[in-house]
Amino acid sequence: MRRYRYLLLNVFAESHFAGNPLAVFPEAEGLTDAQMQTLAQQLNLSETTFVTAHAQADAAVRIFTPGYELPFAGHPTLGTASVVARRLGRERVTLSMPAGRVPVTVQGDVATLTAQPPRARDA
């Protein structure tokens, strides 16, 4: 079985072991939807992200809670963008998520996302 490395982050933290915990799998290629969900259940954090390559963005990101997948969430997006930006050696990255593409700027320990205007959808 292939091994997958993950990072534990504290997003919005002003000190160690504070903030919102987040697990990031920075190289999640090959994991199935069911495996991602199972890993999120096992870690039992509010969110766990899985990063894969994307042709039109710096990375594709999927966010899972222990019970289901989210199309977007703030703290997992910021934490994951920090990981991707550091790996690429850049301050600006674009993440492709089920909710759309999200540009994020990372300067030191501060990440800022640019929210897209809301869109209406049929209920």
Q: Would residue 47 show up in a list of annotated catalytic residues for this protein?
A: yes
Q: What is the DSSP letter of 16?
A: T
Residue type, 65: T
Per the residue annotation, which of 29, 47, 69, 91 is the catalytic one?
47
- Tell me the C-alpha to C-alpha distance, in Å, between residue 78 and each of 1, 23, 32, 103: 30, 12, 24, 10
What is the distance between the alpha carbons of residues 45 and 115, in angstroms, rounded to a whole number? Answer: 24
- HSE toward the beta carbon, residue 98, CA cutoff 13 A: 10
What are the E-state strand segments in the chain? 7-11, 20-25, 48-52, 59-64, 69-70, 92-97, 100-107, 110-113
Question: Catalytic residues, which ones?
Answer: 47
